[in-house]
Structure 1
Amino acid sequence: MEISCTETVPSSAMPIIPLAGGRMPGMWMAAALIATYFALQAVAAGLFVLVLGVAARFGNGWHAVDGAMAATLAQPAMQALLVLLSLGVAAPLTLLLAHRRWPQLWSLARPPGFGFTPPRRPLLLVLAVAVGLVIPVLGGLLTQLLAQGHAVTQDIQQIGSRTPLALRIPLVLLVVSVGPVVEELLFRGVLLSALLQRWRVGWAIAISSLTFALVHLPGLQYQWYALPNLILLATALAWLRLRSDSIWPSILAHGTNNLLAVVAWFVAINLPG
């Protein structure tokens, strides 16, 4: 089966791509996989909390469960463990589901492939690092302008800033590596490929970027003025993906962005007060 990508992908990604079996990501499957990823995190976290509740039950009786669970989860170290556990469970399962569903798309450089191939030009990896460093600065200025003096916080930043050093290291490693790999697969791989089958490049990038921003809104504590920053980041990541014929530059830029965002966790360790 041959699939024509005419007018759905940029000029550098317009050849006819033969796919064995013809299975490609559709809009519903892309949405379902994204929802599954976040649902898996919630389920893993919920099961962890349930285990804590059962342990409290055997120690002090059912009447002490709510108080014990609340006190335990209020501890910064426990919150970090919850993030590590939930992401550690959801990420590999999501990658496995995507690979089992579309095994032939992983090694295809151009959409509808997911681009797990070397970029066309190695220099694009350097550009990706630059994007990952510049976008947080520009996006941060934009967010502060829109916030008009309101504090801008993220759940993960609050958890990281109060977490002991021993747990900050694995938390940062997860946030700058595993998280970007899965999210780039979901949004710049599966979703963008699905959108490019129906929409022109500009609309596909815009829709995928807006979706990326909206699904992160709960982690931003529903601070709407932080959305333009995420949209700007997602747009740059989508451009890198299509420009390089590879998903690795967007993963690298995403990880660099996250690394820059969490450097403050370590700076906060020795700050007075």
Structure 2
Amino acid sequence: MDTDIALVAHPAEPPPMPYSATPIPESPNGWAAVGMLVLYFLLQAFVGAVIAAMVGLGVLLVDHTQPAAEIMRTIKALMARPNINVLLVAGALGGATAIMWWLVRSRWPQLWRRATVPGFGLAAPRDTSFYAIAVAAGIALPIIGGMLTQFLAQGHHVPQDIKQLGANASLAAKFVLMIVAIAIAPLIEELLFRGVLLSAWLKRLNVGWAVACTSLVFALVHLPDLKFLWYGLPNLAMLGAAFAWLRLKSNSLWPAVIAHGMNNLVTTVAWFFTMQSAT
């Protein structure tokens, strides 16, 4: 009897794959985040220059028969008009915002809607009550911050670029300026400061230091609007910290955007009301 039995070798089953959570997307590094901020302000200058050049070209096409010196005087007079200045600023900010929005979303698509950091939080908050908290904070912060700034200023005048920009503008131009202040500026600034920059610095710093550093940078960036007067710095830093708190606690960027917009709304309405009373 043949005892040789052909043994068929069955391949061993592969071991079960260990469970692994979805990998966390890589957050931006510090240099990339700072670079985005610098690029944003450079883009404002570039887009503003392009718009001004287009206005000048329009004048040149209309008055091309005039001497060059006369054309230059016409362009300078046109650019000095308050309404033109407002539209120039609005166009520069709107154009820079659109470009930066596209750049950030293209550069870090996985972080765009991610709720927790690293992530930019373009998603609904974990609790809708944060919308109400954001509105309340946006109303209270300019009042508290204004009192703090006035106390530190000790009676000195506190200039504001936006207030001076809209001082002699028409009602329609003031409305455009308010739209920029309460909608466009908060949207892009929160994306850059509480989205990109905060996510980058949380890689190396604990939450407290990351919030403090981003709030300080936020304040320093806005200090030129106050003619570099130091007593505007604490209010601006307080705003940055409040917006960062909303971003982190709500797991969403939108409450910070809403609070920022409400803060700017209260402030601009107060400025324009004061200007109307003075006229």
Alignment coverage as a number of residue pairs: 256
Q: Write out aligned runs for 1:46-85 (5 A).
A: 46-57=49-60, 59=63, 60-64=66-70, 66-85=72-91
1:142 and 1:269 mapped to 2: Cα distance? 22
2:218 and 2:276 mapped to 1: Cα distance? 34
2:246 and 2:182 mapped to 1: Cα distance? 18
1:23 and 1:135 mapped to 2: Cα distance? 34
The answer as to whether partners of 1:161 and 1:264 remain within 8 angstroms in 2 is: no
1:44 aligns with 2:69: no
Q: How has the CA–CA distance of structure 1 residues 67 and 189 changed in structure 2, closer, same or farther, with 3 Å as cutoff?
A: same
After superposition, the C-alpha distances for 1:144-186 in whole angstroms (9 at most, x for unaligned) are 1111221112111211232211122222122111111110000
Q: Partner of 1:197: helix, strand, or coil?
A: coil
Q: How has the CA–CA distance of structure 1 residues 39 and 65 changed in structure 2, closer, same or farther, with 3 Å as cutoff?
A: farther
Q: Partner of 2:157: helix, strand, or coil?
A: coil
2:219 to 213, 220, 235: 213
Q: Calculate the aligned-residue CA RMSD, in Å.
A: 1.9
Q: Write out aligned runs for 1:1-273 (5 A).
A: 18-19=23-24, 22-57=25-60, 59=63, 60-64=66-70, 66-268=72-274, 270-271=276-277, 273=279
The answer as to whether partners of 2:43 and 2:96 remain within 8 angstroms in 1 is: yes
Q: How has the CA–CA distance of structure 1 residues 61 and 35 changed in structure 2, closer, same or farther, with 3 Å as cutoff?
A: farther
After superposition, the C-alpha distances for 1:181-234 in whole angstroms (9 at most, x for unaligned) are 110000000000000000011110011001111111222222221111100000
TM-score (norm 2): 0.86
Q: How has the CA–CA distance of structure 1 residues 155 and 66 changed in structure 2, closer, same or farther, with 3 Å as cutoff?
A: farther
Q: How has the CA–CA distance of structure 1 residues 49 and 180 changed in structure 2, closer, same or farther, with 3 Å as cutoff?
A: same
1:272 and 1:163 mapped to 2: Cα distance? 14
Deviation at 1:50, TM superposition (A): 2.5
Q: How has the CA–CA distance of structure 1 residues 135 and 112 changed in structure 2, closer, same or farther, with 3 Å as cutoff?
A: same
1:226 and 1:65 mapped to 2: Cα distance? 41
Q: Which amino acid aligns with 1:33?
A: M
Q: How has the CA–CA distance of structure 1 residues 145 and 65 changed in structure 2, closer, same or farther, with 3 Å as cutoff?
A: farther
- The percent of aligned pairs where both chains have the same amino acid is 45
The answer as to whether partners of 1:107 and 1:117 remain within 8 angstroms in 2 is: yes
1:61 and 1:268 mapped to 2: Cα distance? 43
- Aligned partner of 2:9 in structure 1 is none
Name the larger-Rg structure.
Answer: 2
The answer as to whether partners of 1:217 and 1:223 remain within 8 angstroms in 2 is: yes
- Aligned partner of 2:3 in structure 1 is none
Q: How has the CA–CA distance of structure 1 residues 17 and 214 changed in structure 2, closer, same or farther, with 3 Å as cutoff?
A: farther
Deviation at 1:41, TM superposition (A): 0.7
The answer as to whether partners of 2:163 and 2:272 remain within 8 angstroms in 1 is: no
1:134 and 1:102 mapped to 2: Cα distance? 34
The answer as to whether partners of 1:213 and 1:230 remain within 8 angstroms in 2 is: yes
- Aligned partner of 1:10 in structure 2 is none
